[in-house]
């Protein structure tokens, strides 16, 4: 006899009953059922969207309540008061001071506007928002006295409001835009006196600043491969999804299987807070996402009225910036609390920003304003709900039509044997002609190449985003002008643009705002080498794709080590470099846990890759996979810098207490646990497809190489006569509670390269059930 836990909303008591003897709910109550299988994966079924979201929130809180409670403090702008002014937290793609976070929330969040925007979402999406809030609050009420240690007894664990939920969603949307520039918004102030003229910064400095802000080459990345019927040998499609996301914080993935009988049945994972599967599969189609190269914002260069830096010109007419005074509460180290204020300034384009490292300064003559395409994006829930019901890749593509997918490509395969890649993400509608007509000052225009920032002339109204009625969302590029490829062989993406989806695929009429034809990521090179090799070996199977990804081949080692080792043989200049040569000569050029010397190469290449002119063959856009190549060791200046990089790497590894030829698994470990779990994989700059690394620290320490981002929810999905055949690993596990059995259980699977099968069909879920069935009755 199946047993379940039956509980009513509004009651903290749970009554254990036999399923056959349970009392049917009243006519106004709906029930959500939560069944857990191996590794704590919940299978959640409900008759409607509100009740389903209620169950998702409850189940997610079982695993991650403290994480959610702390994020609620963040989006409310109460971190400085709650955790102190001296603290920091993750915002966007970097660590930001609590006071800065609070001021940004006060500046960016407009609850009335978010409420109006959400009123335009579907009834299903709105019901899910309300259901999620109710489900989370139910969990808090039921477990107030039994919370995990990280938030037990803390006054900051409070119920969620619908306004809070809207803010949580907004933060996910603007992750790659306003949130990345939060400090630029709150720091921007008019010049107090005559400002110094802007200084033109070196291109390398611009690129470094943009990279550290997370505006280019962010640690958030991914690989995805889709194979069609020509390559699988089964007539079906096959997908490998490999997102590289943080292992800590609200952007961790969480697995779920969601069913509304008669409407949809979808399984996979999602980040943030919401009751939708963002990466996953249904019975007909599987998909994954990769962070795309599309621009999420534009910066507008303002020409200021002489003598008044708070007025700017548009079409020759002065317009006044709008000041707004923000107030937050902040707690000092001695426990005292005080109010602090700051003024932010807004223009017709958006808030004024100041980023001195990028040369974006507010002077007597110029200022810069940020226009964020994802601000107020309340369409994403409806996009992913449409994904859940798609029956093939064309329907999946059509699900993007509302322009709700915020900042990712979609790669997919279906049971009919089709493979698809598309970038229908949120991108301002600015084409190549408008970019040329709206060029700003030469210095600002120079940001586009090295820093990836598009600056438009803010003195012309014609330089606003297009609003010609061609798009369902005014100002955004419509689906018809976004890239799409559907093939029967294969497609891939590793965070370079759609141009590199397949060697034979061509795209026309796509704005440079979506992507260009420069290959920047070493992982893209690796994909364009390894995927064709995989296909050439014979029919592609899930096991073959898994093995290819987890082979952990180090592309840059293969590219540069032959020249380095040849120079070693000719004579390394010091005992340290000789020892480094010996260790690297014995390395297998992979990043497996038993690969000896991989950590030394990482330390070496992290420095050597920045040496000007380091490659023997420079990058050639006509040979993007083959170049750059080799080391220019015949150049004395370059060779000196390369030897210095190797000596430095040897010193760093030894100072950290590790042997130069130590197995990688003894050096590379997860930051989220003190358990000694060996982690395989390598960094993006090494060209290792299975990307793992550290978001905020570079270099080895006595604690080794501590991993806090990278391969996260990795899945393979194909199809048979029953439906999907899926295997997946959530590398860090379902729970952020260290006391949970699901905090690191899947990390051990990942370490051992073991891919568990996911139960999708009801009979498989029932057979593999772990623990009791939880049935929550939800009354209006």
Instruction: Give the catalytic positions in this structure.
Output: 222
Tell me the DSSP string of 88-153. Answer: EEEETTEEEEHHHHHHHHHHH--HHHHHHHHTTS-HHHHHHHHHHHHHHHHHHHHHTTS--TTTTT
> Cβ of 305: how many Cβ atoms within 10 Å?
15
User: Is the distance from CB of 608 to CB of 641 less than 8 angstroms?
Assistant: yes
- Tell me how far apart the alpha carbons of residues 412 and 495 are, in angstroms, rounded to a whole number: 15
- CA-based torsion, 431, 435, 436, 437: positive or negative: positive
Length of the chain: 780
Q: How many CB atoms lie within 10 A of CB 116?
A: 12
In the numeric block, the tokens 């296909």 are attached to 535
Spatial neighbors of 270 by CB under 8 A, at least 6 apart, are 253, 254, 256, 276, 277, 278, 279, 384
Q: Give Dmax over CA atoms of the chain in angstroms.
A: 85
How far from 435 is each of 87, 262, 445, CA to CA, in Å?
41, 48, 10
Question: Which one, of 277, 295, 296, 297, lies nearest residue 287 by Cα?
Answer: 277
How many C-beta atoms lie closer than 10 Å to residue 66's C-beta? 19
Distance of CA 385 to the CA centre of its chain: 20
Among candidate residues 176, 125, 374, the one with its CA nearest the CA of residue 290: 176
558 CB burial (10 A radius; 0-12, 13-18, 19+): middle
What is the Cα–Cα distance from 47 to 600, expressed in whole angstroms? 55
> What count of other Cβ atoms lies within 10 Å of the Cβ of residue 194?
8
Which residues partner with 238 through β-bridges? 227
Q: Which residues contact 711 (CB under 8 A, 6 or more apart)?
A: 242, 243, 244, 681, 690, 691, 692, 731, 750
């Amino acid at each position: 006899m199946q047993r379940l836990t039956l509980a009513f909303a509004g009651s903290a008591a749970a009554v254990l009953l036999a399923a056959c003897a349970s009392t049917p709910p009243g006519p106004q109550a709906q029930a959500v059922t939560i069944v857990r299988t191996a590794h704590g994966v919940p299978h959640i079924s409900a008759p409607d969207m509100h009740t389903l979201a209620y169950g998702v929130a409850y189940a997610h809180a079982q695993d991650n309540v403290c994480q959610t409670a702390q994020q609620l403090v963040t989006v409310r702008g109460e971190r400085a008061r709650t955790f102190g002014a001296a603290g920091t937290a993750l915002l966007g793609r970097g660590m930001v001071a609590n006071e800065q976070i609070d001021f940004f929330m006060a500046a960016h969040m407009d609850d009335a506007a978010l409420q109006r925007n959400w009123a335009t979402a579907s009834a299903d999406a709105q019901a899910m928002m309300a259901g999620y809030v109710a489900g989370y609050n139910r969990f808090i009420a039921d477990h107030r006295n039994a919370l995990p240690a990280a938030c037990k007894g803390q006054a900051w664990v409070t119920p969620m409001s619908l306004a809070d939920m809207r803010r949580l969603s907004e933060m996910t949307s603007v992750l790659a835009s306003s949130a990345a520039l939060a400090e630029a918004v709150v720091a921007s102030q008019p010049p107090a006196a005559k400002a110094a003229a802007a200084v033109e910064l070196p291109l390398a400095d611009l690129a470094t600043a943009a990279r550290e802000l997370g505006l280019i080459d962010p640690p958030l990345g991914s690989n995805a491969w889709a194979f069609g019927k020509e390559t699988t040998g089964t007539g079906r499609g096959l997908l490998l999804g490999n997102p590289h996301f943080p292992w800590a914080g609200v952007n961790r993935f969480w697995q779920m299987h969601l069913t509304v009988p008669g409407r949809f049945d979808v399984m996979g994972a999602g980040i943030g807070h919401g009751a939708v599967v963002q990466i996953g599969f249904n019975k007909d189609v599987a998909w994954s996402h990769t962070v795309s190269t599309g621009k999420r914002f534009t910066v507008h260069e303002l020409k200021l009225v002489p003598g008044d830096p708070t007025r700017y010109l548009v079409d020759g007419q002065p317009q006044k910036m709008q000041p707004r005074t923000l107030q937050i509460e902040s707690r000092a180290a001695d426990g005292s609390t005080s109010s602090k204020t700051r003024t932010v300034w807004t223009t017709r384009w958006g808030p004024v920003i100041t980023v001195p490292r990028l040369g974006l300064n507010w002077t007597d003559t110029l200022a810069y304003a940020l226009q964020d395409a994802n601000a107020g994006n309340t369409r994403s829930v409806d996009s992913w709900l449409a994904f859940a019901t798609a029956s093939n890749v064309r329907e999946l593509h059509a699900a993007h039509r509302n322009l709700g997918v915020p900042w990712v490509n979609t790669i997919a395969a279906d049971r009919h044997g089709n493979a698809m890649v598309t970038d229908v993400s949120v991108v301002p509608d600015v084409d190549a002609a408008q970019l040329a007509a709206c060029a700003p000052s030469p210095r600002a225009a120079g940001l586009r190449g090295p820093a990836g920032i598009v600056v438009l002339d803010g003195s012309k109204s014609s330089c606003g985003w297009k609003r010609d009625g061609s798009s369902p969302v005014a100002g955004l590029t419509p689906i018809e002008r976004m890239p799409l490829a559907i093939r029967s062989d294969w497609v891939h993406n590793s965070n370079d643009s759609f141009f590199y989806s397949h060697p034979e695929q061509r795209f026309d009429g796509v704005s440079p705002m979506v992507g260009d034809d420069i290959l920047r990521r070493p992982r893209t090179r690796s994909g364009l080498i390894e995927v064709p090799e995989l296909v050439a070996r014979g029919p592609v199977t899930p096991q073959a794709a898994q093995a290819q990804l987890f082979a952990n081949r180090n592309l840059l080692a293969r590219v540069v080590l032959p020249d380095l080792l040849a120079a070693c043989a000719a004579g390394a200049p010091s005992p340290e470099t000789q020892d480094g040569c010996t260790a690297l000569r014995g390395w297998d050029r992979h990043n497996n846990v038993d690969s000896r010397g991989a950590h030394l190469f990482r330390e070496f290449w992290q420095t050597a890759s920045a040496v000007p002119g380091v490659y023997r063959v420079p990058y050639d856009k006509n040979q993007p996979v083959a170049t750059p190549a080799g080391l220019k060791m015949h150049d004395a200046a370059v060779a000196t810098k390369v030897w210095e990089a190797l000596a430095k790497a040897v010193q760093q590894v030894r100072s950290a207490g590790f042997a130069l030829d130590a197995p990688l698994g003894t050096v590379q470990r997860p930051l989220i646990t003190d358990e000694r779990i060996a982690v395989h994989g390598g960094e993006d700059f090494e060209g290792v497809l299975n990307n793992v690394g550290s978001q905020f620290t570079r270099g080895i320490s006595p604690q080794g190489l501590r991993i806090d981002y990278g391969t996260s929810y990795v899945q393979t999905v194909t199809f048979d006569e029953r439906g999907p055949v899926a295997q997946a690993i959530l590398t860090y596990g379902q729970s952020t509670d260290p006391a949970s059995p699901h905090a690191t259980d899947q990390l051990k699977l990942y370490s051992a390269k073991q891919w568990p099968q996911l139960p999708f069909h009801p009979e498989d879920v029932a057979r593999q059930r772990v623990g009791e069935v939880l049935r929550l009755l939800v009354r209006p």
